[in-house]
Amino acid sequence: MAITKVGTSGISDSLQTYFDKKLLEQTLKNIVLDQFAYKSPLPSKIGSKDVKFFRYPESATTDVESLTEGEAMATSKYKQLSLETVSVSLSQYGQIVGISDLLSAVELFNHMEQATVQNGQDAALKVDEILRNKLGSNVTGKQKRFAGAATDWASVGGTDDAMTALDILDASTNLRSKNARTSNGYFTAIMAPEVARDLMNDDDWLEASKYGDPDQLFRGEVGRYAGTRVVTTTNPFISKQATGQYTYDATGAKYSTFVVGDQAYGGVNLATMSAYAPKMMISQGPDKSDPLAQLTTVGFKFYYGCEVLQASHLVEIYSTTNYTAAT
């Protein structure tokens, strides 16, 4: 990742490298959903902002033929490998933090450092927001489950509709019935911390600290149940009766948990300006937009796109939570 200076003065190469690493560090440690995406980088300067993922057909025993000893299989019985393509288009995202000349005069370095930290966190949240909204949208073929006593999305809302261990078990069973692949032997359930809290009282709940080396855990991983690793995100998909099932609404009380198999969804980054290597821009000094040099700006930009690749390998569980926030 490279920092671009625009009209700068007094910013050394070593400081540029420092802020470069600080932005990358903050972005990486805050991304949750994208760590489970099947990655496909788009090389720069290829004349297109679209990427095609290839989706292979489901395996079936009917595709395997009986053989006769000493006889070659007839070409008419060869399995034809038919590929489906899923297209993803890249979009550009960015943010700028302005630091006034008064703050710069008092302590420029600390303010630039805090602006860089904030930018890294914002970049990570944006990537997860894009993926969250994609997974929560009306995806054809996505499996849906309703926690507790609920029978459909509209009926999710009572205290009896909080997440239970049985809901996770049923979702993982759904995935196995669709021949979804695991990742290192486990499916992954991505949920709000409030929803995860409802699972933690179960006797079979296993805290992440009791089974995993911290360096081997996923970002946000808090525990494991029924062959499924539970990962929390502070950026969950929430919906509300008034705004609809597939529209994110932070004021809602219907939480979506995504239980996924390997390669259920994919993420695309531009190789030279990705969410994992955003381009950082520092501007300092007078120019046409700031002739009196009243602002130092610290910004970033990146390209990103995502899509569901195997809808049958994604289960969305709608639930409420029994958690009550502190007052």
The highest-confidence range among 53-67, 128-142, 200-214, by mean pLDDT, is 128-142
Average pLDDT over residues 36-43: 79
Average pLDDT over residues 102-114: 73
Predicted pLDDT at 82? 65
Per-residue pLDDT tens over the stretch 51-84: 777 776 666 656 788 888 888 888 888 776 666 7
Average pLDDT over residues 85-91: 84
CA 248 to chain CA mean position, Å: 15
Average pLDDT over residues 212-219: 82
The angle subtended at Cα 113 by Cα 99 and Cα 15, nearest 5°, is 105
Task: Using alpha carbons, list the distances in angstroms from residue 237 to 244, 248, 310, 322.
Answer: 12, 6, 19, 17
Predicted pLDDT at 147? 95
Residue 7 has pLDDT above 60, yes or no: no
The token duo for 286 is: 């007078």
**Residue 209 banded pLDDT, cuts 50, 70, 90:** confident
Residue 227 has pLDDT above 70, yes or no: yes
Predicted pLDDT at 216? 82
Question: Between these two residues, 84 and 257, which has the higher pLDDT value?
Answer: 257
Residues forming CATH 3.30.2400 domain(s) in the chain: 3-56+84-133+269-306
Average pLDDT over residues 209-214: 79
Q: What CA–CA distance (Å, rounded) separates 301 from 93?
A: 5
Predicted pLDDT at 251? 95
Q: What CA–CA distance (Å, rounded) separates 41 from 49?
A: 11
**Residue 184 banded pLDDT, cuts 50, 70, 90:** confident
Minimum mean pLDDT range among 43-47, 99-103, 256-260: 43-47
**Residue 324 DSSP label:** -
**DSSP string spanning 127-190?**
HHHHHHHHHTS--TT-EEEE-TT--SGGG--SGGGB--HHHHHHHHHHHHHTTPPPBTTBEEEE
Name the percent of the chain lying above pLDDT 90: 43
Domain at 143-265+310-319: CATH architecture? 2-Layer Sandwich (3.30)
Q: In this structure, which amino acid lies at residue 119?
A: N
Minimum mean pLDDT range among 11-15, 29-33, 185-189, 231-235: 11-15
**Residue 320 DSSP label:** B
Question: Between these two residues, 218 and 114, which has the higher pLDDT value?
Answer: 218
Mean residue pLDDT across the chain: 83
Residues forming CATH 3.30.2320 domain(s) in the chain: 143-265+310-319
The packing angle between helices 13-30 and 101-135, to 10°, is 30
**3-56+84-133+269-306 is a CATH 3.30.2400 domain:** yes
Q: What CA–CA distance (Å, rounded) separates 217 from 269?
A: 23
Question: Any residues with CB less than 8 A from the CB of 49 and at least 6 apart, and which?
Answer: 42, 89, 90, 303
Average pLDDT over residues 133-141: 96
Name the percent of the chain lying above pLDDT 70: 80
Residue 13 has pLDDT above 80, yes or no: no
Q: State the pTM of this model.
A: 0.82
